[in-house]
Amino acid sequence: MTGEMCVDSADCELGLSCVEHQGAEISPVCMADCDRTMVRLCPGGEVCTPPLAGGPARDPNLGFCYLGGSTAVGDPCEGPLQCVRGAICVELSGDQACYRACDTEDGSSCEAGETCTMLMEMGTNGFCLPTP
């Protein structure tokens, strides 16, 4: 089940993988698999995150629906596993920060005063950029 502690992916239900969860009370945990070429936001609001470097060999387009880290939207980040659930670490003008993830086709994840901006080479996957 999603969020349950595991030792490896064999401990998880079909369609879930055992993944390190930084800053969580228990780690690693089972998280849903997702196709990064098609999905940015998973059905539960999680961000479809790339496979971990040094993790088990798997299709590079197969990510996981990350349950979220502890870095708030708008705060500086250094990688995809630091941002809270539903946010992604994006580099703009040389600085990285957590932004809400969104789908550029509907932009419904963004708040008033934000625009869903496309991530390069990620289809309709985007992030909520404050409108100037």
Domain span holding position 30:
9-66
- Whole-model pTM: value is 0.76
Q: Which residues on neighbouring strands pair with residue 18, listed in sequence order? A: 30
> How are strands ordered across the β-sheet holding 29-35?
16-19, 29-35, 62-66, 47-49
* Three-class SS state of 76: strand
Both structure tokens of 102: 């969104």
Is there a domain that residue 82 lies in? no
Q: Is residue 61 part of a domain?
A: yes
Residue 45 in domain: yes
* 54 part of a folded domain: yes
Q: Is residue 98 part of a domain?
A: no
Residue 23 lies in a domain: yes
Distance CA 20, CA 53 (A): 11
- Identify the three-state secondary structure at position 125: strand
**Inside any domain, residue 110:** no
Domain count, the chain: 1
Domain-located, residue 21: yes
Which pair of structure tokens corresponds to residue 120? 């390069």
Per-residue pLDDT of the chain (132 residues; tens, 9 = 90+): 888 999 988 999 999 988 877 666 767 889 999 987 777 778 887 888 877 665 566 777 888 898 888 899 999 998 877 888 888 889 988 999 999 988 887 767 789 999 988 876 656 678 999 887
